[in-house]
A = this chain, B = another copy of it.
Amino acid sequence: MALLPVLEGLHSAESFHKAFLGAFFERAREIETHPASFENALQGRIIATVFEEASTRTRLSFEAAAHRLGAQVISVADSKSTSHAKGESLLDAARMVGSYADLIVWRHPRDGATRVISQATNIPVVNAGDGRLGHPTQTLVDLYTLHREWGSLEGKTVGVMGDLRNGRTARSLLWGLTLAGARVVLLPAPGLDWEVGFETRVLERSGLRCREVAHPLFKEWTGSERARLLEPKGLLQGSLFRDQVPRVDRLDALYLTRLQVERGAEASKGAYPGIRMRQMKDPLLEECLVLHPLPRLAEVPVELDEDPRARYFEQARMGPLVRQALFLGMLRPDSWPLPDLAPMPSGNPEHRLGPCPNKGCITLQEGIRVPWRVCGRKNRHFLCAYCDSKLMAEYVGCHSSKRVHPIHSQEVMKIRPENLCPFISRDDALQDGYQWGG
């Protein structure tokens, strides 16, 4: 088996965990309180920012963070001026940038791109947005903004609203909120929910359960009074049962996102959900902080800007210092260590599963063989180790016994991870010398 090496850097909010987040917030607070102590912390270091999608906010935020620590920046701000235009592979481009800098920040329009980039270099790579998949540093900004307010996020109820399907900030935030112990109410715009498999995976990883809750306001946002609530098992809250679905009494925070028009998203019948000043008077939102990764469009009215519950400009202000904390942890672990991130699972590129079914996956653009990873506790799934999409495996063999089984067979759960071998068809397995194990 030829496992890919463990990736250095920050690729997905899936890597966060409570110890990391706790230490991270403490470091961020330290920087916020004593900025001058960090002014030369990264003197002599070079940070590369490569943005292959239009961006000012995120790029400037990273670059300001670098400068606040005394680091220098080399930058590619315009995707048309990259060597991709001359037909270079992402791996080659990444290896080049990795030769010049001490840390790479990369934004790419393809899902899983930074995990490929990370294969090409042994310096830390920070995902500044990869396709519709993730934006983990935005999640750190979001969580720190809430942490400043509340201390702990445990037991807090946070609504996440808008274009869940195409928005990477929401997907990353779900990892972050659930790993930090918050309860999450999902309020997708009509037709813009995310894929079931993603949510299932989050539930499993965090040991949460999902149940339905209701509130009349939800209907104005999603078209239905009911919404899914992800929460730690054992908890039971809510009141005013309506058709036996418990009603949510309050949201502690509401996170809105923009319709991702640049990813081809369209609001059905112009009904993209936003917040109205009138709704802010509802008891549900009485003490509800309003967050938004920005840029906002109509979903957050300008009138809300002066409201004491508005936090989106505070998020923007937190951007550089959160990234300072991350840079310090990665480039100066001697003086400002952070707990290790949970390692991204290694992938195995040896298989007969064909290409990744996700058309946005980086492997398709780069002509790279999909590395698979396994997940699932009750049923095995095989995911693209780069874009986390479910691969089309229907049969699973065992390297050791040389037997192959249908993927939902109980036998599959008994195979040790290092012996797993997925197949699309039984014939593929038989041709590879496996015997039918039923």
Q: Which A positions have Cβ atoms within 8 angstroms of B?
A: 36, 39, 44, 46, 48, 50-51, 54-57, 60-61, 63-64, 67-68, 72, 74, 76-78, 80-83, 85-89, 91-93, 95-97, 99-101, 258, 261-262, 294-297, 302, 313, 316-317, 319-320
Q: How far is the CB of A107 from chain B (nearest CB, A)?
A: 11
Contacts A46-B68, A64-B100, A78-B78; A294 near B92 (Cβ below 8 A): yes
* Given A78-B77, A317-B99; A83-B295 close (CB under 8 Å): yes
Task: Give Cα A95 to B96, complex, Å.
Answer: 32
Q: Which residue of A46, A88, A92, A101 has the most chain B CB atoms within 10 A of its CB atom?
A: A92
Check if A56 sits within 8 Å of B76, measured CB to CB.
yes
Complex CA–CA separation, A238 to B2 (angstroms) = 44
Query: What is the chain B residue whose CB lies nearest that of A86?
Result: B295
Query: Known interface pairs A87-B297, A88-B295. Does A67 touch B72 (Cβ–Cβ under 8 Å)?
Result: yes
Enumerate chain B residues within 8 angstroms of A313, measured Cβ to Cβ: 95, 99
Bound complex: CA of A68 vs CA of B93, how far in Å? 21
**B99, A316: Cβ atoms closer than 8 Å:** yes
Measured between beta carbons, the chain B residues less than 8 angstroms from A39 are 44
How many Å from the CB of A302 to the closest CB on chain B? 8
Q: Which residues of B contact A319 (CB under 8 A)?
A: 99-100
> Could you tell me the distance between the alpha carbons of A100 and B323 in the complex, rounded to whole angstroms?
12
User: Given A60-B74, A74-B67, does the pair A316, B95 have CB atoms closer than 8 Å?
Assistant: yes
With a cutoff of 8 Å between Cβ atoms, the chain B residues found around residue A91 in the complex are: 302
Cβ-defined contact, B100 with A60, below 8 A: yes
A82 contact set on B, CB distance < 8 A: 54, 56
Task: Give 12 CB contacts A-B under 8 Å.
Answer: A46-B64, A55-B83, A56-B93, A56-B96, A64-B74, A83-B295, A86-B258, A87-B297, A88-B296, A92-B294, A96-B316, A99-B313
**If the complex has contacts A294-B96, A316-B96, are A67 and B46 also in contact, measured as CB distance less than 8 A?**
yes
Give chain B nearest CB distance to A364 CB in angstroms. Answer: 17
A60 engages B48 (CB within 8 Å):
yes
Residue from the list B74, B95, B320 in contact with A100, Cβ < 8 A: B320
Contacts of A296 in B (CB 8 A): 88, 92
The complex places the Cα of A39 from the Cα of B71 at a distance, in Å, of 12
- What residues of B have a CB within 8 angstroms of the CB of A61 in the complex? 100
Tell me the minimal C-beta distance from A306 to chain B in angstroms.
13
Name 9 extra pairs, CB < 8 A, besides A50-B56, A56-B76: A44-B68, A46-B67, A56-B82, A56-B96, A63-B74, A83-B295, A87-B261, A91-B302, A99-B313
Q: Which residues of B contact A258 (CB under 8 A)?
A: 86
Could you tell me the distance between the alpha carbons of A415 and B434 in the complex, rounded to whole angstroms?
87
Can you name the residue of chain B whose Cβ is closest to the Cβ of A61? B100
Residues of chain B with a CB closer than 8 A to A320's CB = 99-100
Query: Are A54 and B67 in contact (CB-based, < 8 A)?
Result: no
Cα distance A96–B82 in the bound complex, in angstroms: 26
Q: Which of B44, B295, B317 contacts A87 (CB 8 A)?
A: B295
User: Is A92 within 8 A of B56, CB to CB?
Assistant: no
Distance in angstroms between the alpha carbons of A81 and B58 in the assembled complex: 12
**Complex contact A80–B54 (CB within 8 A):** yes
Minimum CB distance partner of A80 in chain B? B54
Chain B residues with CB under 8 Å of A44's CB are 36, 39, 68
Known: A64-B46, A67-B46, A100-B61. A56 touches B83 (CB 8 A): yes
